[in-house]
Copies of this chain bind each other. A is one copy, B any other.
Amino acid sequence: MKHMIFGESHGPAIGVVLEGVKPGLVIDMDFITGEMDRRKPGQNDLSTPRKEADSVKILSGVFEGKATGTPLCGIIENSDTRSRDYEPMKVLARPGHADYSGYIRYQGYNDHRGSGHFSGRITAPLVFAGAVAKLVLKESGVTVMARIREIAGIEDIPSRLTEEDPSILEGVAGKGFPVIDDTRGELMKEAIRKAKDEHDSVGGIIECVISGIPAGKGTPGRDSVESVLSLNMFAVPAVKGIEFGTGFDLARMRGSKANDPFQYRDGMVMTTTNNNGGINGGITNGMPVVFSVVIKPTSSIGLPQKTMNMRTLEDSDIAIEGRHDPCIVHRAVPVIEAAAALAICEVLGL
């Protein structure tokens, strides 16, 4: 299954084309709407007040409620657009944003309104595509679940799932604020609200676990499971790092501890630890695939910042008006799941 995303934040619609969807797959619109709702803005005081129904209109590839197998196009119309909010900033390169790099890349022709194609809004069709991917994976017994591992320095418990049974995640994904320990979750929310009050923003880490994936999938080299997953992850705005299993902490471990010993128990091959995140040599080993991504703090903040006028190259001050999220980590959880589900479909040849 391949996907191609299109659209701008303030254009008529955003959408995605999916190629190679399994013919006959029941396109469960209730499930899809549920996934869209998990990402949707305007739900509480932790997110942007922009209101979007984010309902998906399917243009092709579905007949009588089932996937035809031919390219499936789903679009989401943009409704609550206030382009005037962005007009004054058209020539100012907002720090942390793609205004300047995009200006050079597209020679000034890209749609600047609401970040255009660079908008986090582009993740809405990604969630739709990911929901279809999840329906495909479900038939193969593969589940993709993510949670907030950390926001603003406050870690959920456990801090990582490499040594925990990932079934601990069941039920967590369904939460409005998906953490294992809700007490910790409240602390995170406080930190978000505090940042919001101070016209600032915070970032965090999302951990994702893919269970039920059989051993022997993936190919060493540029088609490694890590490569395919990371390719998709860095297509998500604000992701600046990815680690598998114990990740960067492996730098401080010895081989005798980092190596995951194999054993055959209860009719299954497994490892006693999962520091390698279910992947050896770019190939799945049958353990849950575990990875984390870092989400940088939202670039749009109300605090005054230094910047540059892209036309005149003069120094300028900027304070970003408009509606924005003080933190996007919690809204990004279903996005990361979606990007992972699409990658795993690719790895499994689904």
Contact = CB atoms under 8 A, between A and B. Distances in A.
Copies in the complex: 4
A55 interface: no
Interface in A180-225: 195, 200-205, 215-222, 224
Contacts of A275: 296
Contacts of A306: 261, 263, 272
Contact of A235 (B58, B250, B282, B285): B282
A111 B63 contact: yes
Nearest to A217: B105
Contacts of A286: 101, 104
A260 interface: yes
B23 A107 contact: yes
Give the one of A95, A103, A241 with max B CB within 10 A: A241
B106 A70 contact: yes
Contact of A269 (B4, B17, B100): B100
Given A5-B221, A15-B59, A240 B243 contact: yes
Contact of A73 (B6, B230, B276, B303): B6
Nearest to A300: B255
A168 interface: no
Nearest to A244: B240
A255 B107 contact: no
A47 interface: no
A101 B216 contact: yes
A251 B17 contact: no
A84 interface: no
Contacts of A48: none
Contact of A276 (B96, B116, B315): B96
A45 to B, nearest CB: 18
Contact of A71 (B63, B117, B241): B117
A219 B122 CA distance: 14
Interface in A260-313: 260-264, 269, 271-272, 275-277, 279-286, 294-301, 303, 305-308, 313
9 contacts: A6-B59, A15-B60, A63-B116, A103-B216, A151-B251, A222-B232, A227-B235, A240-B276, A247-B294
